[in-house]
């Protein structure tokens, strides 16, 4: 189990939510995944790597309305 310092580390939190967005996507919950990706893209602490992951997820949208 992770200690509180690890859980509260902003990088770990961002990694958790970007991974969760992809998990939702693969589970067929695309709208929830897209919503989470949009929320993550609004985070000023998002690294270039995590930003790219969220853009990749959103690029799978079948219509402009999802992005």
CB 49 within 8 A of CB 62: no
Where is pLDDT greater, at 62 or 9? 62
Q: Coil, strand, or helix at residue 51? A: helix
Q: Is the dihedral of CA 31, 37, 38, 40 positive or negative?
A: positive
Closest to 26 measured CA to CA, from 62, 60, 50: 60
pLDDT digits (tens, 9 = 90+) for 5-59: 555 677 788 999 999 999 999 999 999 999 999 999 999 999 999 999 999 999 9
Does the global pTM surpass 0.85? no
- Residue 40 near residue 54 (C-beta atoms within 8 A): yes
């Amino acid at each position: 189990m992770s200690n509180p310092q690890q859980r509260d580390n902003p990088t770990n939190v961002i990694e958790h939510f970007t991974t969760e967005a992809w998990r939702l996507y693969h589970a067929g919950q695309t709208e929830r995944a897209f919503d989470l990706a949009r929320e993550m893209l609004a985070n000023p602490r998002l690294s270039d790597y995590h930003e790219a992951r969220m853009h990749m997820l959103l690029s799978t949208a079948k219509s402009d309305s999802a992005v």
